[in-house]
């Protein structure tokens, strides 16, 4: 199953060093039966995109934690790693949530999706507002929307080492 793993820039650096990505809490997102049921229309490609967007929002949550811990040097860019894995469904969480057992080896990564530099301001603002948005704050939800207006750029896994090596 194609899964979308929320990540951050430091997680990509670790992937390059170790050849493995360790999803926080084993959580990822995919086109699950519950996600398919939640939408009244849409083909598989559109629903996969919805799963990737859920992972991108989860990446904002990870960035919020990193910034809260003083990791100000972390680029304010959402990161989503797409991989092909066996998973366990998580009906106790969001419709598209799945659990991954263990690390994601580099060999099963299909692509990596990252915000461009132009999105950094909006992403930093959204990371600071994600908790409030989850609690229904409409102003915070607006900031999340500003970040989500930026499309994630697609990268081949072979390009990740060059990306994280940039300043």
pLDDT in tens, 109-155: 999 999 999 999 999 999 999 999 989 999 999 999 999 999 999 99
Q: State the burial class of residue 31 (Cβ atoms within 10 Å of its Cβ: 0-12, 13-18, 19+).
A: buried
Q: pLDDT, tens digit, for every residue of 70-112?
A: 666 778 999 999 999 988 888 777 788 999 999 999 999 999 9
Mean pLDDT of 46-69: 88
* Residue 21: pLDDT over 80: yes
Q: What is the per-residue pLDDT for 70?
A: 61
Per-residue confidence (pLDDT) for residue 121, from 0 to 100: 94
Domain layout of the chain by residue ranges: 2-120+152-158
Give the integer Cα–Cα distance in Å for 58 and 93.
12
Confidence at residue 78, expressed as pLDDT on a 0 to 100 scale: 96
Q: For position 72, what pLDDT does the model report?
A: 66
**pLDDT the model gives residue 142:** 96
- With vertex at residue 11, the alpha carbon angle to CA 146 and CA 34, rounded to the nearest 5 degrees, is 60
Average pLDDT over residues 9-25: 93
Map the chain to HEC letters. CEEEEEECHHHHHHHHHHCEECCHHHEEEECCHHHHHHCCCCCHHHHHHHHHHHHHHHHHHHHHHHHHCCCCCCCCCCEEEEEECCCEECCCCCCCEEECCCCEEHHHEEEEEECCHHHHHHHHHHHHHHHHHHCCCHHHHHHHHHHHCCCCEEECHHHHHHHHHCC
Residue 32 confidence class, pLDDT cut points 50, 70, 90:
confident
């Amino acid at each position: 199953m194609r899964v979308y793993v929320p990540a951050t820039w430091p997680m990509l650096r670790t992937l390059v060093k170790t050849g493995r990505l360790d999803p926080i809490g084993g959580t990822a997102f995919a086109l699950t039966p519950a996600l398919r049921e939640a939408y009244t229309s849409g083909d598989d490609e559109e629903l996969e995109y919805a799963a990737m967007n859920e992972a991108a929002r989860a990446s904002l949550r990870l960035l919020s934690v990193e910034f809260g811990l003083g990791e100000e040097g972390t680029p304010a860019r959402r990161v989503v790693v797409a991989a092909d894995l066996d998973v366990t469904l998580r009906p106790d969480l969001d419709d598209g949530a799945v659990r991954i057992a263990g690390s994601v080896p580099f060999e099963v990564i299909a692509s990596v999706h990252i915000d461009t530099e132009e999105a950094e301001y909006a992403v930093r603002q959204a990371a600071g507002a994600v908790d409030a948005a989850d609690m229904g704050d409409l102003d915070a939800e607006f900031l999340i929307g500003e970040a989500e207006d930026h499309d994630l750029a697609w990268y081949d896994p072979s390009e990740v080492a060059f990306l994280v090596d940039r300043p």
